[in-house]
A and B are shown apart, each in its own frame.
Chain A
Amino acid sequence: MASNSEYVRLVNVTKRFGDVTAVDNLSYNIGKGECFSMLGPSGCGKTTTLRMVAGFEDLSEGEVWVGDNLLSSPKKNHYLPPEKRNFGMVFQAFAVWPHLSVYENVAFPLRIRNIDPAEIDRRTTDALRATNLLKVKDGSPDFLSGGGKQRVALARALAINPDVMLLDEPLSSLDPHLREEMRFEIKDLQQKYGFSIIYVTHDQSEAMALSDRILVMKLGVVQQIDTPLNIYNHPANKFVFSFIGLSNFLQVGNDNGHAAIAGGSTIPKHWAIPDELKGEGVLSLASRPSEIDFVSADEPEAIKGVVTRKAYLGEIIDYQLKMGDQLMRIQKGRRDPGPEVGETAAVKLLRPFWYREND
């Protein structure tokens, strides 16, 4: 028996298109009822992975399992077509059928399954109620807004009461304010119905808000799999650091432990360079704009720069400091009085991270 924490299993999944490896030896497990996001820039292989799970793409290598059922395995010459996999799926472009009413869109997967008509009506109505669509059920989805269409798609996916829901950038076609609202609606539905979610997105805040765990991908290769908090606080590498949240990278010359920003301040001894990086000649010093304090110039842990820009963004003030020939961004609350443009300022990085320059 597969355990609850290993409900959906991807084992060494690889996908090649000709000479290009779109997904390279990917393995992970998803628990029952877990919300798992695949996050990465476009072309990183996240959608291809989802489509392999759905059954729209063949695997080049590896296996996909759900519970005790093998779905795809090129080695065993086994392939279950998408229509037999019993997933719910929501697409970016809504993909609701304009020639069917909202009700018929949602009832479609049930009708295909030859379920008793009374049962079809009950489950369709349930799904429509859960997505607040009862009022518009007889109209064509063409007349609904983007959010309305996406609700129809969600209701359609819910109707069969799937164990696993595949969401392919479901919110990317919506207006920003709707996006946030729908995000929580999806989360509520998940809590109510208890399905697992595999969620593909390129929007890190969406992934952070929804997910139990996040997988960060780049060029078909997994960078990190962890909880949102850990991904943010302990990024595995420079790519993950840059992809999640705002980031500064300063190029630092390193001469046997004596490190200095090119053309700028010497790096304080306290900011320990990890042992494995000590031999590198050039390092990258990463920091978050919100994790930098202005300090007095005689503070031993300070580095100095000249303020070249100061912008008020409502609640926060956004500074740009020039250090040597490099720029750094700092964000502070608007209540803290900060230096003005042209002044020299000393700053302290609260959580410096070190990476190889060419990571």
Chain B
Amino acid sequence: MNGTVKNGGSSFGVAQIILFISIAILVIVVAFPVLLIFFNAVWVEDHFEFANALKVLWEEEEIFQALINSLIIAGGTTVGSTIVGTFFAWLVTRTDLPYKSFMKSMFLVPFMLPSFIGALAWKMLLSPNAGFINRFFIENFGFDGPIFNIYTYYGISAVEVMYLFPFVFIQVCGALERMDPTLEESARISGAGLFTITRKITIPLVLPSILSGALLIMLYSMAHFGTVAVLGIENGIYNIPTLIYERIHQSGGSFASIRTGTILATVLVISAALIIWAQRKILGSGHYQIIGGKSFRPMELKLRGLRWPLLIFCFLYIGFTIILPTVVIFLVGGLSTYGLPFTPENLSLDNYKFILFEYQVTKDAIFNSVWLGFVAAIITMFAGVMISYVIVKMKVRGKGILEFLGMLPFSVPGSVIALGVILAWSGQFGINLYNTVWIILVAYIARYMAFSLKANSAALEQVHDSLVEAARSCGATMWQSLRDIVIPLVRPGMFAAFFLIFLPALRELTVSIMLYAPTTRTIGVAIYTLNEDGETVISAALAGIALILIVVGQTIINKMTKKAGE
């Protein structure tokens, strides 16, 4: 930010109005629900009870266990993803692995696959008694029991690693690609071999990126609902979000369950805030200027004899973690009854037709998800532009409040938002949206505001103040310079924000599962509940359709963003 230019007197009123609207949006959508959670966590009947809130956490064994489980699963997932992500990032940027750019794009595929669909697939493959792989080994090789039980901490963490490691991968790839190659070359000319350089120069220099990606995964995994819901509950493993859901769902929204929920949600918000604080600290203190001027090709480690074995390893990894689960989903979706062998006479497209054209539940779900995703994306995109504009570009008093509020969406996990909107919009404050599709919309806007703020402020930071000043000096008013200069320049950012919201919203589960009513299921909810109800084949078929929607959507975006970049 640069504070050298004072705001002109004429736009003072306008600036204040925009600031006020921006603050109002964030307060209503995010801050108010979160405050209600804090309040309910410590307010019992007519007085504050901080000690009681802590007692609930410590003394109710199931709740304490959920805290521990969240830590174990998030810890395992973070460590696993960091190792996997860093290794593959190094492999595709710093070695002479064949087909590197293709492999790089393959490692990004899990980004777009919803992890709870992956979890469903792994449940079909590795559930202890019925999983295809386990049964295969028991029947053919005389194993006494399953070779791997997916309903364990290991299983849950492994599945999360498969879908979350791209967070680290993409960060580390970016850092390695942008890093000035002469930093490594100067070590080389100093006499260091490639192994020493990797250990003493490369890894320490990209460590901030590795840690920042790791913390992102930690944040995500702590508050992650889907995988644990699909794989953990079966074996009594609850983490914080699944326990909140279970308590509220089973009691039909009783006061006691909501209170427990708010206490757990408070724990989530606090840990998220701590993680984000740590991430900023790391990026702030260790963000070395390692981006170089001249770009020669960076050194590549010659893998020599390991070249092809490592390529095969990569293919196996992708085959095992991406292709196998996807194929299983589509195959199971084609079965007439779950449990039948995959023979041509058992497989058909009937389930898919049924879902798309006959079954009201799934038809509603697809419609709801597309509609909700679209509307949420549009609203959040425009709100995000406005709020980012105030934060990044405007010099107006009271902006500090907005900057603080703008941080909130980043640190509020989905299940917390869901609980917050229940507290805020169930009629206690005059508006009752509960059991309608609107409450999901409000929650989506709150949940995805962070994406929009990020994309839009990044785009706005690229627009130098002097561009607007030049327009003003040519006689344009503030509105004209916004319309003719700023908006056209940030359009790519808005575009990105739209899709960053629309696609994840299509497959959203964590928020919707807490808010759905019989007619307001989303795709994610429908897949999850159908599976819970034992409608495995229908659920798998719907998951297959969701995957197709997501992949097609992503392909269109990639095409469009490529065109926009040209």
Contacts and interface: CB of A to CB of B under 8 A. Distances in A.
A51 B296 contact: yes
Nearest to B292: A93
A56 B187 CA distance: 12
Contact of B190 (A92, A98, A108): A108
B282 interface: no
Interface residues of A, number: 32
Nearest to B201: A97
A92 B186 CA distance: 11
Contacts of A89: 185-186, 189
B204 A173 contact: no
B185 A56 contact: yes
A112 B196 contact: yes
A132 B101 CA distance: 46
Given A98-B205, A98-B290, A99-B204, A91 B191 contact: no
Interface in A94-144: 95-99, 108-109, 112-113, 142
Contacts of A81: 188
B565 interface: no
Nearest to B187: A108
A83 B193 contact: yes
Nearest to A89: B189
B275 to A, nearest CB: 23
B188 A91 contact: no
B192 interface: yes
A7 B207 CA distance: 42
B4 to A, nearest CB: 23
Interface string B366-410: 000000000000000000000000000000000000000000000
Given A56-B185, A93-B182, A99 B288 contact: yes
Nearest to B287: A98
Contacts, number: 79
Given A82-B185, A95-B180, A99-B205, A156 B293 contact: no
B293 A160 contact: no
A173 B187 contact: no
B183 A95 contact: yes
Nearest to B192: A112
A84 B292 CA distance: 25
B186 A153 contact: yes
A39 interface: no
A346 B506 CA distance: 82
A269 B418 CA distance: 95
Contacts of A153: 186
B294 interface: yes
A88 interface: yes
B191 A160 contact: yes
Given A99-B204, A173-B293, A83 B185 contact: no
B296 A156 contact: no
Nearest to A56: B185
B235 interface: no
A216 interface: no
A45 B207 CA distance: 35
Interface string B191-212: 1110010001100110100000
A85 interface: yes
Interface in A149-204: 153, 156, 160, 166, 173
A98 B185 contact: no
Given A112-B196, A142-B289, A95 B190 contact: no
Interface in A40-92: 47, 51, 54-56, 81-89, 91-92
Contacts of B196: 112
B288 A91 contact: no
B183 A156 contact: no
Contact of B189 (A85, A93, A99, A173): A85
A199 B183 CA distance: 19
Interface in B162-194: 180, 182-183, 185-193
B interface residue count range (under 10 / 10 to 19 / 20 to 34 / 35 or more): 20 to 34
B289 A92 contact: no
A8 to B, nearest CB: 15
B292 A54 contact: no
B293 A88 contact: no
B330 to A, nearest CB: 44
B293 A92 contact: yes
Contact of A98 (B187, B188, B289): B289
Interface in B74-128: none
Contact of B288 (A92, A98, A108, A173): A98
A112 B191 contact: yes
A109 B191 contact: yes
Nearest to B193: A83
B203 to A, nearest CB: 10
Interface in A300-319: none
A86 B185 CA distance: 13
A93 B190 contact: no
A160 B207 CA distance: 29
Contacts of B286: 99
Given A82-B189, A112-B190, A156-B190, A91 B182 contact: yes
A108 B200 CA distance: 10
A171 to B, nearest CB: 13
Interface string A203-243: 00000000000000000000000000000000000000000
The CB with the most chain B CB atoms within 10 A, among A81, A82, A95, A166, is that of A95
B465 to A, nearest CB: 25
The CB with the most chain A CB atoms within 10 A, among B186, B189, B290, B294, is that of B189
Contacts of A93: 180, 182, 292-294
Contacts of A97: 183, 187, 201, 205
Contacts of A112: 190-192, 196
A92 B191 contact: no
A113 B186 contact: no
A156 B201 CA distance: 15
A176 B293 CA distance: 18
B292 to A, nearest CB: 5
A87 B289 contact: no
A293 B185 CA distance: 51
A166 B192 CA distance: 17
Contact of B186 (A51, A91, A99, A160): A91
B288 A95 contact: no
A323 B304 CA distance: 67
Nearest to A159: B190
A83 B191 contact: yes
A84 B189 CA distance: 8
Interface in B280-328: 286, 288-290, 292-294, 296, 299
Contacts of B180: 93, 95
B212 to A, nearest CB: 15
Contacts of B185: 54, 56, 82, 89, 91, 95
B289 A95 contact: no
A174 to B, nearest CB: 13
A47 B181 CA distance: 15
A156 B186 contact: yes
Given A142-B289, A173-B293, A95 B191 contact: no
Contacts of B190: 83, 108-109, 112, 156, 160
A97 B187 CA distance: 9
Interface in B347-363: none
Nearest to B186: A95
A219 to B, nearest CB: 19
B287 to A, nearest CB: 9
A168 B53 CA distance: 65
A109 to B, nearest CB: 3
12 contacts: A54-B189, A56-B296, A83-B191, A89-B185, A95-B180, A97-B201, A97-B205, A98-B205, A109-B192, A112-B191, A156-B190, A160-B191
Given A91-B182, A97-B201, 13 more contacts: A82-B189, A83-B188, A91-B185, A92-B293, A92-B294, A95-B180, A95-B186, A95-B292, A108-B190, A109-B190, A109-B191, A113-B191, A173-B293
Closest 10 CB pairs of A and B: A109-B190, A98-B288, A95-B182, A91-B182, A95-B186, A112-B191, A89-B189, A93-B293, A99-B204, A82-B188
